[in-house]
């Protein structure tokens, strides 16, 4: 385990600024679920995210970032993301160790804390059709909006080449 203090939302904003990445953040009461955050949709445009922190049997960790209402089949997603086996949810201790966040605050912005490159970041291709993507800024009491391409640039700047894959189940009418 590393003894590195996790970055704060302010550290994240400074890092985004240093990269010349435009972003905006709206503070709100803490939200822990998609249902709790749905009241914010009218105030914050763009694609809203749900994040699944998973691992395979060889302790390879992945963060799956999908549209908030998307479903992910945990029994088969390993075949899409290149995991060694079926995946299960990662423990909160590893979430804090690698991404510097607690359950309820999971975010692709956690890459700023993954200095050991222990996590593979997977962005759902349907989510990436959105121009603006909304994520927690390392805490669940705010939402940070960032351009789709800027999110990829942020991840790459942290040393993570995100995989853009079809991890969400397709919804048929």
Give the pLDDT mean for 135-151.
Answer: 96
The answer to whether position 119 is within a domain reads: yes
Domain that holds residue 119: 45-165
Q: Is residue 131 part of a domain?
A: yes
How many domains does one find in the chain? 1
pLDDT of residue 150: 98
Confirm whether 99 is domain-assigned: yes
**99-120 pLDDT, tens digit each:** 999 998 999 999 999 999 999 9
Tell me whether residue 84 is in a domain.
yes
Summarize pLDDT for 39-61 with one digit per residue, the tens.
666 678 899 999 999 999 999 99
What is the mean pLDDT of the segment spanning 129-147? Answer: 95
Q: Write the burial class of residue 114 (CB in 10 Å: 0-12 exposed, 13-18 middle, 19+ buried).
A: buried
Q: Which residue, among 17, 13, 47, 38, has the nearest Cα to 131 in the 3D structure?
A: 47
Residue 34 has a pLDDT of 64
Residue 149: inside a domain: yes
How high does pLDDT run on average in the chain? 92
Tell me, yes or no, whether 10 lies in a domain. no
3-state helix, strand, coil in the chain (%, to 5): 30, 25, 45
- CATH number reported for the structural domain that contains residue 93 in this entry: 3.90.960.10
């Amino acid at each position: 385990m590393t003894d590195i203090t996790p970055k704060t939302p302010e550290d994240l904003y400074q890092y985004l600024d240093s990269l010349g990445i435009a972003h905006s953040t709206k503070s709100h009461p803490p939200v822990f679920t998609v249902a709790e955050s749905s009241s914010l949709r009218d105030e914050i445009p763009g694609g809203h995210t749900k994040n699944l922190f998973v691992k395979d049997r060889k302790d390879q960790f992945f963060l799956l970032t999908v549209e908030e209402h998307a479903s992910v089949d945990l029994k088969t997603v390993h075949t899409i993301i290149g995991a060694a086996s079926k995946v299960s949810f990662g423990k909160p201790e590893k979430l804090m160790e690698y991404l510097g966040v607690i359950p309820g605050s999971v975010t692709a912005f956690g890459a700023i804390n993954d200095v050991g490159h222990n996590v593979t970041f997977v962005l759902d291709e349907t989510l990436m059709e959105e121009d603006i993507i909304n994520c927690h800024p390392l805490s669940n009491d705010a939402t940070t909006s960032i351009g789709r391409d800027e999110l990829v640039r942020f991840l790459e700047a942290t040393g993570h080449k995100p995989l853009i894959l079809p991890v969400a189940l397709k919804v048929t009418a």
